[in-house]
Structure 1
Amino acid sequence: DISPDGKHLLVRSYEKVYYWQRRGTEPLWVTLQREPEELPYKLERQGEAIGFTADGEGYLTTSEGVYAPIYYYKLPAQ
């Protein structure tokens, strides 16, 4: 996902959350060339979704399935 202000990127795998912060107006492909920071999250069975909160200060994760919990995490201090 890309944050509402376009300055932060998140990619989720089944086991990890990767985070990049853009430098100025650099193209996204340049941002993604750098090593990401790994962010904490609760390991979820079939965890597949991630997205920034509307204010861009945190992110949400959830899993596949009916009534799957939604977890909130605050982004690291910038």
Structure 2
Amino acid sequence: MDRADLRALAQPGARIAVRVTPRGGRDALTVDQDGRILIRVAAAPTDGKANDAVRRVLAAALGVAPSRLTLLRGAAARDKLFLLD
């Protein structure tokens, strides 16, 4: 899995906005030149599988457990907002 190191953002109470591409071929996390976090996952957006994959990829980049991330907004959208507990 390709991923950027986001450990500097791993502060309790942090709200992390991401842009997701489901069925992206492989799991990867990048940060574009504007500082937006882009996550690509292989999972399809059915039955919450893509959201679970996004949570795992983001948690790995932050260096935290996936259970510490709560999806606040965007369950059925490409733009999502997570809260780090």
TM-score clears 0.5: no
Please identify which structure carries the higher helix content.
2
Q: Which has the higher contact order (CA 8 A, sep 6+)?
A: 2
Q: Which has the larger radius of gyration?
A: 1
Please identify which structure carries the higher strand content.
1
What TM-score do the two structures reach when normalised by structure 2?
Answer: 0.27
What TM-score do the two structures reach when normalised by structure 1?
Answer: 0.28
